[in-house]
Structure 1
Amino acid sequence: MDRRDFIASATALTLSSTLFAKSIWNQNTPIKIGIIGLDSTHALAFTRAINKGGNSLYDGFKVVVAYPYGSKTIPLSKERIPKFSEEIQQYGVKLVESISILLEQVDCVLLETNDGNLHLEQALEVIKAKKNLFIDKPIANSYSDAFKIFHAAKENHVPVFSSSALRFIDGISDFDRSKLIGATVYCPAPTEPTHKDLYWYGIHGVEMLFRIMGPDCINVRSFDGIDSTIYIGTWKGGKQASLHGMRKEFEDFGGTIFLENGKKDLGKFTGYEVLLEQILKFFKTGISPVPEKETLGICAFIDAATISKKKGGKEIKLQTHK
């Protein structure tokens, strides 16, 4: 793909959430949700919130079916899947043996598989069935796979949305962007051998950084310490922002936005409800609250940060086409 073709394709992808929005909010019966992957705590948290009722925001939705896998190789996933499979059935969710069977019974899909390496294959099956699709973090384990997901979504006129709940943390968007100087954020960032560095858990911090700074990061440097790594990105126009990824026994999220007229500290992470509200709104309207360009920028950042880390902190330019 040459640069002209890439720019045209990227422009089409940016527009796709509007042009190809598919509303399914015209039914008298609940919107039926299927879950792929019972190796994420989000799968249980979302199901519990939706199916227990008592919150008008979740009226009109029901999680009806789940396909448990999910990774069959990552130790954490192998441990969780049997336990979560048993627990989710308490909320009236039926287990099925394949994604194809699941897709016959639902209107939209929560792809909750912990293993980002499986997301392209699983997402393509959902997209071909033309179901509105939310992909939990990470959208994939590479920019290349993420781009293929969005390209397939455009080709099939299917809305796709991916995000971390930390994108919606208190205070992260209500500031005067014209006064923005930079930012620093911090988060837990344990790693998993099957994933590139920040794709496993540190992606929460990258999401926060991009929500503040925007999609146009141009390069990144990674500085590895004993129990943490600092990532410094430079955005278009020369503004910089950093992520402090903590490796051991650290559970907090936060940060500071630096402005010409002072600073703004971010609020605390208070749970998944803000993300679930965005997901259900997306399922209704087919319009993603996160531009594809920004999600792809996050993937390009992580790919470049991984290379920088391997090269001892060398500045690496983000590559936004393959």
Structure 2
Amino acid sequence: MKIGLIGNDTSHVEIFSSMLHDENHSFYINDVEFSGFIESYSEDLPISRDRAKKYKNVLLSYHIPEFDDVQTLNEEVDAWWIITVDGRNHLQWFEKIASFQKPIFIDKPITIGLENFDRMVELATRYETPIFSSSSLRFSELLKGIHKDDVEFLYGFGPLPLQEKMPGYYWYGIHSLEWMDALFDCDVRQLERKRYERYEIVEFLFQDGRRAIFRGDYEWHDQFGGVVHCKGLPPKMLEFWKMKKSYYVSLLEEVLEFFKSKNPPFNIQRTRRIITWIEELQKF
């Protein structure tokens, strides 16, 4: 399978290209490759601008060629991956490739704002183009075996560094929202957000009456986790950073299955639910 990559400004470039192109990687996947990439980064977003050169060199080190336009690269690929970190330009790139009718995975966030999301889904429907977007944490091995109907309460925690150009939960907070949605799979009736000097607390009241509390730390770290309470079972501690099988591996497996089957693992409206939560949290 041959994949076209859009973007070279995020650590995900190195994480996923190593699994597809480094035969010594513990989770190396054969017969799949990034067949080319389109350079994309944002001058006004430091996390994009300051990393673009590094990750472009990573791609070139794997002999993945750079292409100047999507039309030429499209002739070489079976599927597309929009990986650029800046969610503000995801719709722009999607508009360029949707008509090719090849499956497209869009790295988180799928886009910024509900209007852009709805436009993206409209295009996907018009061209019958399969689309899928997710955080890597949604498919973590830790969450397998927990049935959503058994979940009663969750205390979650994780990093929440903020970016002015990708406000609120659009950059890092979305990771935690995604894995929480994987557990509850339920719309929210009410959200409360309280900010403190070094962290913030968000309280979730779901439509079915269940509750969750999330603590987001403004300083970056890699410790996503929580304590989940299920019916008739002792509380279960979730420590994503201790898993032997990285959640990135689990996500890549889901993406490749999607590229093959052209059927996303869940309905795109669940992704809309995440964007709705983020927009609601912006009001606090």
Distance in 2, Cα, partners of 1:57 & 1:84: 19
2:211 aligned partner:
240
Whether the 8 Å contact between 1:159 and 1:286 is mirrored in structure 2 is yes
The reply on whether 1:182 has 2:158 as its aligned counterpart is no
Matched, 1:277 2:253: yes
Identity %: 25
Which residue number corresponds to residue 90 of structure 2?
Answer: 119
- Say whether residues 1:162 and 2:130 are aligned partners: no
TM-score, scaled relative to structure 1 = 0.81
C-alpha deviation, 1:249, in angstroms: 4.2
Looking at structure 1, the residues matched to 146 and 13 of structure 2 have their Cα atoms a distance apart, in angstroms, of 32
Does residue 268 in structure 1 map to residue 244 in structure 2? no
* Structure 1 residue ranges, 4+ long, deviating more than 6 angstroms after superposition: 54-57
RMSD, aligned CA? 1.8
Letter in 2 for 1:281: E
Aligned partner of residue 266 in structure 1, secondary structure: strand
- The structural deviation recorded for 1:142 is 1.3
Aligned residue runs from structure 1 range 90-101, under 5 A: 90-101=61-72
Task: Report if the CA contact (8 A) 2:19-2:27 is conserved.
Answer: no
Does the aligned pair in 2 maintain the 1:182–1:213 contact within 8 Å?
Answer: no
Q: 1:146 aligns to what SS in structure 2? A: helix
Give 1:72's aligned residue. 43
CA distance in 1, matches of 2:37, 2:23: 19
TM-score (norm 2): 0.92
**Is 1:195 matched with 2:132?**
no
Name the amino acid aligned to 1:172. Answer: L
Q: Deviations over 1:146-199 (max 9, x none)?
A: 222122112211111111111122332412433321212111110110112000
Is the partner of 2:141 in helix, strand or coil? Answer: coil
- Matched residue, 2:108: 137
Q: For residue 297 of structure 1, what is the aligned residue in structure 2?
A: 273
Which letter does structure 2 place at the counterpart of 1:230? Answer: I
- CA gap of 1:85–1:176, structure 2 versus 1, over 3 A, is closer
Distance 1:92 1:226, change over 3 A: same
Count of aligned residue pairs for this structure pair:
278
Unaligned runs of 5+ in 2: none
SS in 2 for 1:171: helix
> Higher RCO, 1 or 2 (CA under 8 Å, sep at least 6)?
1
Match of 2:6 in 1: 36
Question: What runs of 5+ residues in structure 1 fail to find an aligned partner?
Answer: 1-30, 310-322
- Work out the CA distance in 1 between the residues paired with 2:43 and 2:111: 17
Equivalent residue for 1:47?
A: 17
